[in-house]
Amino acid sequence: MIGLVVLFLSIFSLMGLFIYKIYGSGSMDEIQREKEIISETPQQNDSMDYELVDAVIESDINETIIEPETTEETFPEPSEEEVLNELINDKISGMTIEQKIYQLFVVTPEVLTGVSQVVTAGDTTKNSLERTPVGGLIYLAPNLTSSEQTKEMLSKTREYAYEIEGMPMFLCVDEEGGRVTRIAQNPAFGVEEIPAMGNIESVEEAYNCGDTIGTYLEDLGFNVDFAPVVDVLTNNSNRVIGDRSFGSDPNIVSDYAKAYSDGLHAHGILSTYKHFPGHGATEADTHKGYAYTNKTHEELSQNEMIPFATAKENNIDMVMVAHISLPNVIGDDTPCSLSKMMIIDILRGELAYDGIVITDALNMGAISEKYSDAEASLKAFEAGADLILMPGNLKSAYTGIYGAYESGRISEDRIDESLRRIIKAKIQIDSGEALME
């Protein structure tokens, strides 16, 4: 009986040791003293086996103390937008101010190279791009003689751009359908002729037009189409727009333009809504000189500007601004393409468009008769344009913006603002593969 009591006391003592070890600050010496106390307890039963007690105590002494669990700090995966912004910022940070400014221009290959008619891309094109790495090239009918010639020319140009700038360049064309086509009108290409947009009668037909054009533009190597025309034809005497327009109903124009653009997008071709804020009410031709409409802001908002108000939600890549004047909106005869009110306040502000804004061609009479290339380019950029299309003299146009930068008239942040939109669109062209290398 006494032996059982002793065993009970021994176990109770061990439990105390365990608890003390976990929650107290007991040492090895204290544990050993406790063991000695137990061994000195009067023994009445010689059969009592203390080996078990010793083993338990030794096991307790040698037991490894369990460290508290630790968890590694984890961070959420960056969003697609964060990755894209980092990619854009990295690209911009590696560019010189000269490279940045040249990216703002889209010119003809003749203006780039100084050659009278460009139908190939070789050392002259490459050397010109190294000196003046423009953001894009626009090709007109004389540059495009056959499918094979066009494919080879664009392929080499694209290769040079990647080699020099590490990203694609805009390879642009006016391929609307109807009377404004650089490719379909040429039998050498053997592509399907597209009807004038004024003859389109359904959303499905509009999509098919964009899809057909997108198919052969992709095959040839283009990545930007300056189409569709979204001018609402409100003046039947307007021969400049005429059957290039989808019609006189702004809602139908909006629906058809979206479908047409969806057809282009299906083939990786960037689309362009033109000519903001609407060329349909004018009579004169801005290719030849001054053109205007007396419509008010309210009148334009209720009609001509409705298709442009859908540009953001329809993911339209570019909006081209016309050279028409709106004296009852702007207050003078300033062309819309050079007007802060039209681009920053209305297109960017009221209509919330956040894609690329490109001017109509600066070599058109409405601009060239009144402004130098340097003056027009700077005014367009200050007004909020991102891309400047077809100045007659690239060096002069570049100098206009570079000089304003040097004098502090425009900031590098303003240049970077446009570059972010431009580079974002270029990432869209090739999914960023070139920029990620």
Angle between helix 412-430 and 80-93 (nearest 10): 120
pLDDT for residue 78:
83
What is the tens place of the pLDDT at every residue in 90-143?
999 999 999 999 999 999 999 999 999 999 999 999 999 999 999 999 999 999
Q: How far apart are CA 345 and CA 436, in angstroms?
A: 35
Using CA atoms, how far residue 72 sits from 68, 69, 75, 78, 135, in Å, is 13, 10, 10, 18, 46
pLDDT for residue 68:
57
What is the tens place of the pLDDT at every residue in 384-410?
999 999 999 999 999 999 999 999 999
What is the tens place of the pLDDT at every residue in 274-310?
999 999 888 776 777 778 899 999 999 999 999 999 9
Q: Which residues are annotated as catalytic?
A: 287, 360
Q: How far apart are CA 209 and CA 203, in angstroms?
A: 10
Q: How far apart are CA 229 and CA 176, in angstroms?
A: 7
